């Protein structure tokens, strides 16, 4: 699969978006190079098009390129060999590909990446060697740097500089739109806005996110963007560091979507660990956001309206990150998991059952399937769907009451579980290796050797399973049509993605 950042790398300067001033200055530098013979530094944040601009300019000018990584020891060797001595008569490539007289035809554009990162590699002469090279080269040189002021004084004085600014969300969107048009993929405008926003100025990562979310699809919707960010995944402690130490509010939100923890767990972890990092004032602010997050989580519980989750996420990630004004680095001993209530434990048991019986990852079970089930069986209605669910996932009373929000001890829940048990038995008798093999009790599974491979997979599904599927689907539609959820939008997103995974 082609990497879209390569496939859609600008091939001419005109395609480098969002930095018109820098682009014009760069073009002027190239066109007047014969007159000044100075090297130029393109500096700015990662992914804003510096390297692309250098290659695009060379193409526009009809110049060859030689690209070297300045922090690479091999580059150091090459430079040592040529700096101050042969640079006038040879190219950095070591070959005599260039025209020594420096005519435009034979010109090579030397692109020296990571120019802010060369200290340490140049024991003999340090950045001085590069500075010498830059001063004496017979070929145009472009240095690329993220941090201009990390470059040595000497090097800065010997070069022109052009700053590349972060590419605004407004300039990112058309780039993404062009790519999707070329790929023949339709899209919701919201989806592109969202990618542009969360990537705060970094076009490369925006294009990467776009590919992750859209590649292979006919249409890109905003849910795909959220799901893709989540699938890319980051670890829990990476997430905590992102919120408490490293990232802006905006990037912290992205981490929140990338970590495999639901908002309520995120709140628990951040609540538990924030005091290990923040000072008193920051803590006071952070706790306010956490309190807001709790309010939204409460609303989710009360209404089963999972779309409120995002407000909890905004508060726990962006809010808590924004509450910090100190700079924190280094490593923190965060310690173990926060306290878990009985309810948390029940939930984890339910999620595990869903994951095992349905063949889902824990994350998918927790985030997509459980909310979906909770929505379609709210208060055990419709009853037959609830029975089918309990049978399918082999749920006991506490699990059914957790998912549906109905009291465990109610007759309603008990009779549902009984009917589900009957349904399972009937199904098991009717089919071996059918729908319920994923949750056959251990001893039975051992006896039915060879069936384990089918566990949790839909492949062994029978006609009866299909009927069950269709039944659940029909019910879901009825519910929605009748507006029984109270809110027709009620986490349609989760319903949809859960539905895909489910069947
Ligand atoms: N201004 C831009 N216009 C169009 N596409 C861009 C732009 N900036 C980045 N891209 C896309 O992102 C990819 C990577 O960009 P590029 O390598 O030029 O960024 P960079 O600023 O040099 O980053 P780094 O400092 O990390 O090398 C490009 O191949 C292209 O797909």
Closest CA to 232 of 216, 251, 208, 253: 208
Ligand 1 pocket mutation pick from 204, 206, 207, 209 by most atoms within 8 angstroms of CB: 204
**Whether residue 46 has pLDDT greater than 70:** yes
Surface-to-core class of residue 95, CB atoms within 10 Å of its CB (0-12 exposed, 13-18 middle, 19+ buried): exposed
Q: 404 and 378 in contact (C-beta within 8 Å)? A: yes
Ligand 1 pocket mutation pick from 11, 15, 20, 49 by most atoms within 8 angstroms of CB: 49
245: DSSP letter? I
Average pLDDT estimate for 300-321: 88
Average pLDDT estimate for 206-221: 91
In sequence order, the 6+-apart residues with CB closer than 8 A to the CB of 413 are: 380, 397, 400, 401, 404, 406, 407
Q: What pLDDT sits at residue 304?
A: 74
Strands 64-69 and 108-113: parallel
Evaluated on CA atoms 318, 319, 322, 327, the torsion sign reads: negative
Cα–Cα distance for residue pair 116/360, rounded to 1 Å: 46
496/414: higher pLDDT: 414
Tell me whether the omega of the peptide bond preceding residue 382 falls within 30 degrees of 0, making it cis: yes
Task: Report the percent of the chain where pLDDT is more than 70.
Answer: 74
Q: Does residue 438's CB lie within 6 angstroms of at least one atom of ligand 1?
A: no
Distance 202 CA to ligand 1 centre (A): 8
Q: Does residue 204's CB lie within 6 angstroms of at least one atom of ligand 1?
A: yes
Q: What pLDDT sits at residue 188?
A: 93
pLDDT-derived band at 360, boundaries 50, 70, 90: confident
pLDDT-derived band at 244, boundaries 50, 70, 90: very high
Q: What is the ipTM of this complex?
A: 0.95
Q: Does residue 424's CB lie within 6 angstroms of at least one atom of ligand 1?
A: no
DSSP string, 262-315: -HHHHHHHHHHHGGGT--HHHHHHHHHHHHHHHHHHHHHHHH--GGGHHHHHII
**Whether residue 306 has pLDDT greater than 90:** no
Distance 318 CA to ligand 1 centre (A): 27
Q: What pLDDT sits at residue 501?
A: 28
Tell me the pLDDT of the chain averaged across its residues. 77
Written as six digits, the tokens of 53 are: 């601009």
**Whether residue 469 has pLDDT greater than 90:** no
In sequence order, the 6+-apart residues with CB closer than 8 A to the CB of 20 are: none
- For the ranges 48-57, 70-79, 80-89, 489-498, the one whose mean pLDDT is highest: 48-57
Q: What pLDDT sits at residue 375?
A: 84
Average pLDDT estimate for 271-289: 91
pLDDT-derived band at 77, boundaries 50, 70, 90: low
Cα–Cα distance for residue pair 474/382, rounded to 1 Å: 11
499/474: higher pLDDT: 474
**Whether residue 298 has pLDDT greater than 70:** yes
Q: What number does the ligand 1 atom closest to the CA of 204 have?
A: 12
Distance 145 CA to ligand 1 centre (A): 13
Q: What pLDDT sits at residue 232?
A: 64
**Whether residue 172 has pLDDT greater than 50:** yes
Cα–Cα distance for residue pair 434/119, rounded to 1 Å: 64
pLDDT-derived band at 96, boundaries 50, 70, 90: very low
Q: What pLDDT sits at residue 432?
A: 59
Task: Report the percent of the chain where pLDDT is more than 90.
Answer: 34
**Whether residue 323 has pLDDT greater than 50:** yes
Distance 5 CA to ligand 1 centre (A): 8
Average pLDDT estimate for 272-287: 91
* Helix, strand, coil share (%) of the chain residues, nearest 5: 60, 5, 30
Cα–Cα distance for residue pair 472/9, rounded to 1 Å: 47
Q: What pLDDT sits at residue 472?
A: 37
Q: What pLDDT sits at residue 364?
A: 75
pLDDT digits (tens, 9 = 90+) for 106-123: 688 989 888 887 764 444
């Amino acid at each position: 699969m082609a990497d879209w950042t390569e496939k859609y790398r600008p091939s001419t300067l005109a395609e480098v978006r969002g930095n018109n001033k820098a682009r014009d200055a760069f073009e002027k530098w190239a066109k007047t190079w014969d007159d000044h013979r100075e090297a130029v530094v393109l500096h700015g944040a990662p992914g804003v098009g510096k390297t692309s601009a250098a290659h695009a300019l060379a193409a526009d000018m009809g110049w060859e390129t030689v690209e070297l990584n300045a922090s690479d020891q091999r580059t150091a060797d090459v430079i040592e060999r040529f700096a101050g001595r042969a640079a006038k008569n040879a190219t950095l490539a070591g070959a005599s590909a260039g025209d020594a007289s420096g005519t435009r035809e034979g010109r090579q554009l030397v692109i020296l990446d990571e120019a802010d990162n060369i200290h340490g590699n140049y024991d003999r002469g340090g950045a001085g060697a590069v500075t010498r090279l830059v001063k004496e080269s017979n070929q145009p040189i472009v240095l690329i740097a993220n941090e201009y002021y990390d470059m040595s004084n000497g090097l800065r004085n010997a070069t022109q500089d052009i700053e590349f600014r972060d590419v605004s969300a407004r300039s990112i969107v058309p780039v993404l739109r062009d790519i999707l048009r070329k790929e023949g993929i339709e899209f919701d405008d919201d989806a592109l806005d969202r990618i542009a926003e969360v990537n705060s100025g970094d076009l490369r990562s925006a294009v990467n996110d776009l590919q992750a979310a859209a590649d292979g699809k006919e249409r890109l919707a905003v849910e795909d963007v959220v799901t893709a960010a989540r699938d890319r995944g980051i670890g829990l402690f990476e997430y905590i560091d992102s919120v408490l130490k490293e990232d802006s509010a905006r990037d912290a939100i992205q981490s929140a979507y990338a970590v495999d923890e639901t908002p309520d767990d995120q709140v628990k972890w951040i609540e538990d660990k924030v005091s290990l990092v923040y000072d008193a004032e920051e803590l006071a602010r952070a706790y306010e956001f956490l309190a807001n997050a709790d309010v939204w989580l409460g609303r989710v519980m009360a209404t089963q309206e999972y779309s409120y989750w995002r407000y909890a996420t905004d508060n726990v990630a962006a809010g808590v990150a924004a509450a910090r004004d100190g700079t924190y680095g280094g490593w923190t001993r965060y310690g173990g998991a926060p306290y878990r209530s009985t309810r948390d434990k029940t939930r984890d048991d339910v999620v595990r059952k869903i994951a095992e019986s349905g063949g889902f990852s824990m994350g998918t079970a927790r985030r997509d399937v459980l909310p979906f089930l909770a929505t379609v069986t709210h208060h055990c209605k419709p009853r037959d769907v609830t029975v089918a669910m309990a049978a399918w996932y082999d749920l006991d009373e506490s699990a059914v009451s957790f998912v549906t929000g109905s009291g465990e001890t109610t007759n309603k829940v008990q009779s549902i579980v009984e009917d589900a048990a009957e349904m399972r038995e009937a199904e098991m008798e009717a089919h071996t290796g059918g729908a319920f093999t994923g949750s056959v009790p251990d001893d039975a599974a051992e006896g039915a050797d060879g069936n384990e491979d089918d566990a949790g997979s839909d492949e062994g599904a029978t006609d009866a399973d299909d009927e069950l599927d269709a039944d659940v689907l029909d019910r879901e539609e009825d519910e929605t049509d009748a507006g029984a959820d109270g809110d027709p939008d009620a986490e349609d997103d989760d319903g949809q993605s859960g539905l895909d995974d489910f069947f």
